[in-house]
Copies of this chain bind each other. A is one copy, B any other.
Amino acid sequence: MFDFIPIGVAAKDAARELANAGTEKKNLALRFIAEELISNKRAIIDKNRADVKAAEAKGVKSSLVDRLYLNEKRIEGIAEGVSQVIALPDPVGTLESGGVRPNGLRVSKIRVPLGVVGIIYESRPNVTVDAAALCLKSGNATVLKGGSDALGTNTLLTEIMRGCLLKAGLPADSIQLLQDTSREAATAMMQAHGLVDVLIPRGGAGLIRSCVENASVPVIETGVGNCHIYVDSAANLEMAIDIIDNAKTSRPGVCNACETVLLHRDIAEEILPKLKKRLDQHNVEIRGCEITKMILGKCVVPATEEDWATEYLDYILAIRVVDNIYDAIDHIRKYSSGHSECIVTDSLPAAEEFQRQIDAAAVYVNASTRFTDGFELGLGAEIGISTAKLHARGPMGLKELTTIKYLINGNGQIR
């Protein structure tokens, strides 16, 4: 049976050392990692080929195999990501607030690492390095649990990083990878209360749900985006079409892509044929309500209740015609995953009402939902996009990988 405790204890011990390691040492380790990824490119690609071959032989579907696949360019991209993390400011030690209380106590609220961060993810091996680098920079130890298909690649990437930690004088156990990729191992990590300070699942809705249901350690839900764009009666329709096209087709497989468009009934007849023409360039399948079907004809697949709730992550768009902004808001409240929601309108009251009423990490007026991203919003990098409300909401950067501690200094104060 899988025993998480020795791994968790090793991570806790490493976390203690990392918490006070200082920025220079952490950056040195990151510099080594960026360099060694490049100098070990050949070995990584060899390991990855074996993983890819095995996955293909097992009949894993091609979109998943593509996520698993690494080539020179992708490895260079991963190393470049690590170099960018070096350039980001270290949040550890930042003074959040402070002052002297009337009784003379000096209070400083400072940022400290969370401790041990657990990451459960699916096939992408780049997460192995991206997540470990962000955790290292913010002074946290990481325990990674990747998918079984990527085990060979992930193991080599982790070995390279652990070597770099040692070279920089930091504990190798700052980064650990579970060799057991079973569900039992994942569950053991989810329930390691006191050893894992936060669990960040990165993957599909099923993985997130499993973590929420089974974890006794705190979980930050990330990355499920059933995002909507509502086109108001007062919208600039050309702008609306550009935004919908971009939010749906620029990268359909990501969480900030648009999944459902809601159209005010007054503009539905005018916009729908033009929108369809634009989406046809990417062969986007339309699943529409009855009115959409009436206007566009039989090319529209009738939308079911399930369609409104689905994050397609594909060239499929659900479209519903609504009577007014309130119907749009109600629809979004019912089906939104709280990620990114958008209104296209030139009406100031409509824009304000939408931003006031919609409860999501990011609420847009007249821009593509694709901007919900750590780089785009100026955080520098992100470990995920939180759709939870506690601790972090929206893109999680280095600061969101820390917590605070009160330092209180006196000279004998009693109460």
Q: Which A residues fall within an 8 A CB radius of B?
A: 16, 19-20, 99, 101, 105, 107, 112, 114-115, 193, 197-198, 212-213, 216, 218-220, 236, 239, 242-243, 245-247, 250, 333, 351, 355-357, 359-368, 370-372, 376-378, 388-391, 393-394, 403-415
Contact = CB atoms under 8 A, between A and B. Distances in A.
Contact of A393 (B372, B376, B390, B404): B404
Nearest to A212: B216
Contact of A364 (B16, B236, B403, B408): B408
B390 A246 contact: no
A198 B393 CA distance: 14
Contact of A413 (B115, B213, B367, B403): B367
A122 to B, nearest CB: 21
A239 B413 CA distance: 9
Contacts of A356: 20
Nearest to A108: B355
Given A107-B377, A216-B213, A389-B115, A365 B409 contact: yes
A414 B246 contact: yes
A384 to B, nearest CB: 14
Given A115-B389, A371-B413, A363 B212 contact: no
Contacts of A377: 101, 107, 406
B405 A393 contact: yes
A242 B414 contact: yes
Given A101-B377, A193-B212, A198-B390, A360 B405 contact: yes
